[in-house]
Amino acid sequence: MKYELYYWPSIQGRGEFVRLALEEGAADYVDVGRLPKSKGGGFEAIQRALGAPRGKVRPFAPPFLKAGHLVIAQTANILAFLGPRLDLVPDDEPSRLAAAQHQLTIADLVSEAHDTHHPISSALYYEDQKKEAGARTKVFRGERMPKYLGYFEDVLAGNARGKRRHAVGGAVTYVDLSLFQCLEGLAYAFPKAFARVTRKTPHLLELRELVRERPRIAAYLASPRRIPFNESGIFRRYPELDG
């Protein structure tokens, strides 16, 4: 099956979690937002797809995926759909439920990371809420990021399947790919705080390198398909927020 991913063309954002799964799964896909307008891509294509007729299940916002006649929205929902099809989740129901659970927890982490620089509203510029962002980020650095990373460190330490620990089962899943993306993003946005917190998370750091070294992921990261982190996405580097 050929998949169509709809996400904004200039940022990694939440769409990057889906891109990593599609790349690792060697899926046949097109990143519609990054196609030229002459080929039916760009912002206009995303806006058209969002305006589906009433009466159908419509996505609220990107990312969403077209797979045949299906349109699947919400990052965790997309990955739950792709996981079995791309061999990125075990076959048994308990493992699939655990993967979905972990992905939803990752979604919470991503939201809190975003809200460090936009604690009041995404409709305001960062400069309009710097004081509030400083207060929010202090709590995120000191309490929330250690809590999330500590939880997933325990998940990895408790999963003894295979020679190298994964979040679910004994092989790489979409949860591992998403954890890699979170670790990369946090290291970009908060390099000093990240270095402090991850002194206590050796399994997460091991997983980060394991995913980075996977041939398809390594090729993707070295390609122009991988959009660099920037100050328009979820993970943004504002030095004043790193303590």
Domains of the chain (ranges, CATH numbers): 2-85 (3.40.30.10), 93-215 (1.20.1050.10)
The pTM score is: 0.96
Bridge partners for 67 per DSSP: 3, 70
Strand intervals (E) in the chain: 2-6, 28-31, 64-67, 70-73
Average pLDDT over residues 75-88: 98
Contacts of 12 (CB under 8 A, 6+ apart): 19, 181, 185, 227, 229, 233, 234, 235
What pLDDT is recorded for position 196? 98
Which pLDDT tens digit goes with each residue over 6-54? Answer: 999 999 999 999 999 999 999 999 999 999 999 999 989 999 888 866 6
What pLDDT is recorded for position 79? 98
Average pLDDT over residues 133-138: 98
- Specify the residue for token string 């070294």: 213
pLDDT surpasses 70 at 205: yes
* Residue 173 DSSP one-character state: -
Q: How far apart are the first and last CA of the chain?
A: 47
The SS3 call for residue 48 is helix
In the structure encoding, which two tokens stand for residue 194, read together? Answer: 């990240």
Q: With DSSP H G I counted as helix, E B as strand and the rest as coil, what are the percentages for the chain, rounded to 5? A: 55, 5, 35
* CB contact burial 163-178 (16+ within 10 A = b; e otherwise): eebbbbbeebbbbbbb
In angstroms, rounded to a whole number, what is the distance separating the alpha carbons of residues 12 and 185? 10
Please tell me which residue, 173 or 54, carries the higher pLDDT value: 173
pLDDT surpasses 80 at 188: yes
pLDDT surpasses 90 at 187: yes
